[in-house]
Structure formats: C-alpha cells, structure tokens
Structure 1
C-alpha cells in the first residue's frame, strides 16, 4: 500500500477533544473542552422552534443567508469602526474552526511563513501545516503573557505572510492592549503582513480590560481577516456558526475556499440565531457580568484550596500550576486527575511551543453548581493524586 498523506505527521488529534472523551470515561466534571452546560437565550430557542415548521431546510446562499449577513453587519459595524457591506465583506462558515482554516488557505501558499503567538489554541499550528505554511512561534511571557517587541519584530523580519492573533487569548486569557495592538499593526503595515484575528471571545472581557478589533486600527481593514463565532456569545457551540469579515478582495477568495470546504453553514440555525444578533448592549453587559461572577467563584475556590493559577483578563480559561505534584508529563497528570479526582482538564503542553509541562487548563463556562462540584473534588487533590514520577 502507498503511504497516506504526510500533512498530519506534525500533529496529533485534538488533545482538548481527547480530554473530553477521557472525562466522560471516568465520569469527571468536564472543565477541559470549553462549552457551557447552560441553555442559550430563550429568544434564540423560541425562534428555533418556529424555524422547524418553516421553509429553512434546504441550502441557504453558500456564503450565508441574506438576513443573517445583514443582521451580523449591523451588529459588528459600530464596534469594528467600518460600515460592513453584508454582500461583499462577510462569509458565514461552519464555526470559527472553519473560518480560521479558510482564512489561512485564503492567505497562505505552501512554503509561506505564519507568525503564531505561544501559547496558542491548538488548531493554529495544524491550520498552518495543512495549508503548507511554516509556523514561526513568538512567546507570550508569563505571568501576564506580554510579548517582547524585539522578538516579535525579529519574527516579522523573516518575511511572514500573516500573523495569527487570538484576542482575547485561548488558553491564557490575555486581552491585548490598544498599545500592543497598535505596535502589531505598525509591524504588519511596515512588513506587508496580513493579520488573521480570532475574536471568538470578543464579548467575554473583564474589567478594566477592553477588547479592540485590530481591523479598526488605521490601515488595518485592508489587511485583517476577522474570524469569529456565535458559539461562545450565545452558548450554542453545537450549532457551528462562525464567520469571516474582511475587505471585498479577501472575502472574494475566502468564499471560494469556503464553498469547496463545506458548501454552507446550516440554514435553519442561521435563521434561528438572528434574534441574538439583534440583542442590544444590555445582553453583552449581562454576559460580561455572568462570566465575571463565574471567574470570581472558580478562582476564589482555587485560592481556598491553595492551587496556584493565572488570572484571565478575558475568555473563560485559567491555567493552573501543577509543579507541586512532580509529574514529568502534564498529559499523564490530566488523565490521572480525571480518573482519581474526577475533574477534566487539558495539558498545557498542547498550547505551548516551548517545553511547558507544569500547567493545565480549566474552563469555567459552567453552571455555578457544576463549578462548585468541581472545586469540591479538587479540594481532595492532594489526598487522591498519586505521586508523580519525578
């Protein structure tokens, strides 16, 4: 038999999704894969019921239903500082996962270089490799996960085609400041580099931090591919509704890629979510307050147990330091944690290019009762975790 494609030789299956399966196997509280266990807004669910009786069961327009794109353009135009044309500057995708893959394939030719901040969401490296591109990793330095300006410019000097920016960041919860984004934008313009912006946590940002769309900065609309999703904002991760917003020249190419990747996102779900796209500022303020309380509950619980952790500025992830348990492998630690303690987490090494094995990632997008149960189990961690191999 001939050898299969070697494109996937540089990466494994998703460690995040693997840890969900392991959590399920051991009946662990799943704080690994970042999906909520509470319902979407009632307005969306009510519209979904109506849609099932309507004529929305066949293909929609490949790049997104007209009314969906119009509602999305109206929602995003103000915050992004640009009057978005729903007919020329949007393509609706099957989640932000496809949006990022389509963006990468729109920009990168085989052999091109792409800058990726580390830590990074695990798909980014795979997206680059599947596109035939070469990742250039630039570290974000803990505990605040700042980048070194000289290190970043050195990466730009390697003539990359694009930079991937996750803001707010998964897994570290960093929210890039206006000053940092301005510096990145200046480098992108100076070295003629595109920015692929993953902004799925745009509405989950904690005081006093503020999210800024890099596409809104001077000179950046034409070179930014803004990718996002409705999954986190409306608690509908299973609906797989994402999108790309960019200039007409970029969208023209992205639509071709999208067309041959998935044809189109689910038509009935596009129709059902439109009430959410029309929510006013009160909804997003309520969302921020909800997650602020969850962050406080979970982080205070970790503090009470005496477990060292980061403090996210945005998104809903926290990195916990497991150094005291003396495991050489954070993957082994997470597997034992699920089995013996009953809490699911993701090994931090799956997010870092650097040899980081002392961090694991939890998420707190869960009901308060779920978080309290997880904390109750974690309170027994020092009694139940067997000694590591170090």
Structure 2
C-alpha cells in the first residue's frame, strides 16, 4: 500500500519529458543552460587531482561551513556558529525533507501557502502529520488573517518561500510583522523559510528571515548553492537553524545521506572567496527584462516578477483550455515547454497562468519568444 497514494510523477518531470520527446524549447524546469563561471570550473579541474574524494564530516566540510557563516554575516549581519547551527545538505530539497522529518510529529499540522513547491507536502505526510494548505491572494500576497485562522494548537510549522516559486513574489516588512503576530499567539509554531532564490531579486531588496530577531530561535533557513551559482546538478544546499533544532535535523540527515559530495563542497568553499553574490540580482534582472521585452508584443500577459528566475504569464486572451492542457499543447503545437500554475495548488486552482524559466542563454530565449509571439 502506498504511503503517498495521491502523488504521481512531478509536473516538472512530465513537462521536461514531453519537451524532449517533441524537441521543444524547455522553459519549464528551473535550471540554467548557460556555462558555469570559469573560475569555478577551474577550481574543480584542479581539485580532481587532489585528496578530496573521501567522506567529509557528516555536517559538512568545515571550511565550507565557515564560509557559510561568513556569507550569512556579510549578507544579513547575523552571526552564527558553524559547528552547531550549519548543515550542508544534498540540495535544498533534502534539507527541507530532513527538517520536516526531524521536527514534525504524528498528529501535527503544517501550514503550506499555495501555490507551493511540490516538495513541501510529501515529508509532512510521511511524518503522519497533516498539511494545511492556505491559498495566497490572487496577487500572491499572503492573506495573514486567513493564515492565522488556519493555525491551531496542533500547528507545528509554517513554511514560507521567499522569493516565491512559482510567482516571483517577495515578502515585505509588513508581512514579517504579521508573521510575528501569529508566532506570538502560537508559541510552539516553527518557521521553515525556503530562501533558495535569496540572491535573485530585482527592484526591491530581498528581506530575509535571517534579519528578523524574533524569528531566529524558531526558524529553519533553507538555502541553495545550486540555485545561486547555476550548478543545480551539483545538488548542494545548506540549512541554518538554532542549535536545539539543528541537533534533531542532523539526526535525520545522517541516516538520509550521511555526508554530501566532497569535491563539490571543497570547490564551493574556495569559490566563495572570489565570487560576489550581490551581482546575481543584476544578472538575472537583465535576463528577466530581456525576456519580457521579447514577448511583450505577444498575446501573453506578463505578471509582476520581483525575484527568482521565473516569469508568470496569463494566456487568458489566447485559450479557454485549462492550464495543464494548454501547456501540453504549447509543447506539441508550438515547441515551447512551460509549467502550469494550477499544479502548485492543492485544489488545482486554474487562473489560466503558466510559468516560464528565463535562466537561459539569449539564443534560447529569442528562439522561444519567436514561437510564443506567433501564438
């Protein structure tokens, strides 16, 4: 008998498989297709001949853990203890899974804000806990009144994703004030803050949970080197949490993967000495602006994009099909792959919206836009 009877193949896998079958331009799955920084590949080339191919310590390669603490301090003016508050994980997804498995127990409830990334619900269900899905407003701002009503004495965790996938929305100062009010009313409630796109914001600066004093003792932070450095296939992320929570997360982590890829950890620890994460926002803003310009004369309606490397558009002026059907036809009839937004909702709410990934080289964006403008 299945533990996850209602969960089928991920929509990301479905659309990427179709894109390959129909030789379509894949703007669905969120991974860059342009070259990795040569400084990083040069580091990896040298390391291949060095003694860095055995297990690292379970919690992570110590120099990388020190670099993470330094990155958090320089980015958010927060001082953390590498040995007790940092964990290197096999991607952000593994960090999320380990955190939920460690801290959420049978009978607990976890607040998930829809549209939500699909890796949140499964570990909740596998903990024999209850996911409580709460929809964001139609403009993707949180409805804190509705969120508070969804909380109860059984609520153990609320998951926030900032910047938000799939919508590109970022949280405001007022959002954190409202979250603080909820936490004051529910003292046992923890926050899992998924900030894998933390360095990819545009006109407005990203506000991290790292900067909120009231959150620090009750928050698990999830970050991703894969997203930040265009190396999604490396599957390297990290978790920052207070020691009393991290002790429990490490217990799960050690039996899930034990330790993470050694050469990747060493390479990133050295790369952090030469890369400037503050340039990422400007780089991806250029990608966003270019893609928006390319399709602004199409029949698609652009929605606001404040962060991440995803652009949501409406196709309401083009078709009455549901968004899953539209995305499949977009592949078969027009050779471009996208992701339907309804799949991020528990009730499959369909607003005729789809998501494109613009983390692609300009030739790919131009080729895709040429096809989209003809629809």
Q: Tell me the TM-score range normalised by the shorter chain.
A: over 0.9
Q: Secondary structure of the residue that 1:243 maps to in structure 2? A: strand
Segments of structure 1 that go 5 or more residues without pairing to the other structure are: 382-390
Whether 2:211 is the aligned partner of 1:216: answer yes
Equivalent residue, structure 1, for 2:370: 376
Q: What is the rounded CA distance, in whole Å, between the counterparts of 1:14 and 1:277 in structure 2?
A: 33
Q: What is the rounded CA distance, in whole Å, between the counterparts of 1:150 and 1:314 in structure 2?
A: 25
How large is the Cα RMSD of the aligned pairs? 1.5
Show the 5 A alignment for 1:1-390: 4=1, 6-143=2-139, 145-157=140-152, 159-192=154-187, 193-207=189-203, 209-279=204-274, 283-357=276-350, 358-381=352-375
Name the stretch that deviates more: 35-44 or 171-180: 35-44
Following superposition, the deviation at residue 312 of structure 1 comes to 1.0
Name the stretch that deviates more: 8-17 or 261-270: 8-17
User: Are the equivalent residues in 2 in contact too, given 1:159–1:191 (CA < 8 A)?
Assistant: no
Following superposition, the deviation at residue 328 of structure 1 comes to 4.0
User: Are the equivalent residues in 2 in contact too, given 1:174–1:313 (CA < 8 A)?
Assistant: yes
Moved over 4 A (4+): none
Q: Secondary structure of the residue that 1:362 maps to in structure 2? A: strand
Following superposition, the deviation at residue 379 of structure 1 comes to 1.6
Q: What is the rounded CA distance, in whole Å, between the counterparts of 2:129 and 2:318 in structure 1?
A: 38
Q: What is the rounded CA distance, in whole Å, between the counterparts of 2:303 and 2:43 in structure 1?
A: 39
Segments of structure 2 that go 5 or more residues without pairing to the other structure are: none
Q: Secondary structure of the residue that 1:232 maps to in structure 2? A: helix
TM-score normalised according to structure 2 size = 0.95
Q: What is the rounded CA distance, in whole Å, between the counterparts of 1:111 and 1:322 in structure 2?
A: 41
User: Are the equivalent residues in 2 in contact too, given 1:75–1:278 (CA < 8 A)?
Assistant: no
Q: What is the rounded CA distance, in whole Å, between the counterparts of 2:99 and 2:212 in structure 1?
A: 20
Q: Secondary structure of the residue that 2:180 maps to in structure 1? A: helix
Q: What is the rounded CA distance, in whole Å, between the counterparts of 1:284 and 1:103 in structure 2?
A: 26
**1:1-53 CA distances to partner (integer Å, 9 max, x unpaired)?**
xxx3x321132221112211111111111100000011222221111001100
User: Are the equivalent residues in 1 in contact too, given 2:153–2:186 (CA < 8 A)?
Assistant: no
Following superposition, the deviation at residue 299 of structure 1 comes to 1.5
Aligned length: 373
Equivalent residue, structure 2, for 1:387: none
TM-score normalised according to structure 1 size = 0.92
Structure 1 residues 224 and 80 mapped into 2: Cα distance closer, same or farther (>3 Å)? farther
User: Are the equivalent residues in 1 in contact too, given 2:15–2:339 (CA < 8 A)?
Assistant: yes
User: Are the equivalent residues in 2 in contact too, given 1:79–1:213 (CA < 8 A)?
Assistant: no
Q: What is the rounded CA distance, in whole Å, between the counterparts of 1:26 and 1:73 in structure 2?
A: 45
Following superposition, the deviation at residue 111 of structure 1 comes to 1.9
User: Are the equivalent residues in 2 in contact too, given 1:231–1:239 (CA < 8 A)?
Assistant: yes
